[in-house]
Structure 1
Amino acid sequence: MFVIVSRYLIPKGFRGLTLFPFIIVSESDLKQNAVMINHEKIHIRQQLELLVLPFFIWYGLEFLVRWIICKDKNVAYRNISFEREAYANEKDLDYLKQRSFWRFLKY
């Protein structure tokens, strides 16, 4: 895992993004934010489980379906199973030590 700081690679309205094996954050102080880094590490684990490319296909399709249903981009984003898992567990810094395989399916 590599943490990179670049505000130009982050979409507007976001502070971080994960593209295995990189975590990209918009500001250098976010590199020290344990909760945010843990959130992004959860995405790294999800990407590994789905062999990276299928993760992004699933993520995009789930976002589109939820956007059509909700008619709100932000609500759709927050309800993607991968995001729900990451947000629900980002404050538990030991979560990845005990997380079961494909845990995102619970969400």
Structure 2
Amino acid sequence: MIVIVAKYLIPKGFVGLTLFPFVLLGSEKGRDNAVLLNHERIHLFQQRELLVLPFFLWYGFEYLLRLIQYRDRKLAYRNICFEREAYANEKSPDYLKSRALWKFISYL
């Protein structure tokens, strides 16, 4: 995991963004946030198992579907299967050691 602090590249309202193999953080404080880094590490695994480009296509398509479903940007974002998996397991530092392949599917 390559961590870069790039506050001007992070969308407003977010603290981090993962673009395999990079984790972009909005501030230097994020480097010390184990929960945030674990959340982004989960996204790295998701991106790798979907070979990166399909991850972003799925992510964008599901976001649009959730936006239609919920009519709320934040609620749509939080209900993307990739985000649901990451938020549900971000406080478990050993989660990725036992994570099943394509586990995000169970969060659809």
| TM-score, reference length from structure 1 | 0.99
Structure 1 unmatched ranges of 5 or more = none
State the identity %: 63
1:62-73 correspondence to structure 2 within 5 Å: 62-73=62-73
Structure 1 stretches of 4+ with a deviation exceeding 3 A read none
Q: Distance in 2 between matches of 1:49 and 1:24?
A: 20
Q: Distance in 1 between matches of 2:59 and 2:23?
A: 17
Q: Distance in 2 between matches of 1:70 and 1:35?
A: 27
SS in 2 for 1:23: strand
Q: Distance in 2 between matches of 1:40 and 1:84?
A: 12
Q: Distance in 2 between matches of 1:81 and 1:21?
A: 20
- Deviation of 1:25 after TM superposition, in Å, equals 0.5
Partner of 2:30: 30
Structure 2 unmatched ranges of 5 or more = none
Q: Distance in 1 between matches of 2:89 and 2:69?
A: 25
Partner AA of 1:97 in structure 2: K
- Deviation of 1:2 after TM superposition, in Å, equals 0.2
1:1-107 correspondence to structure 2 within 5 Å: 1-107=1-107
Write out per-residue CA displacement over residues 51-106 of structure 1, whole angstroms, 9 at most, x where no aligned residue. 00000000000000000111000000000000000000000000000001000001
Write out per-residue CA displacement over residues 22-69 of structure 1, whole angstroms, 9 at most, x where no aligned residue. 000001011111100000000000000100000000000000000011
Tell me how many residue pairs correspond in the alignment. 107
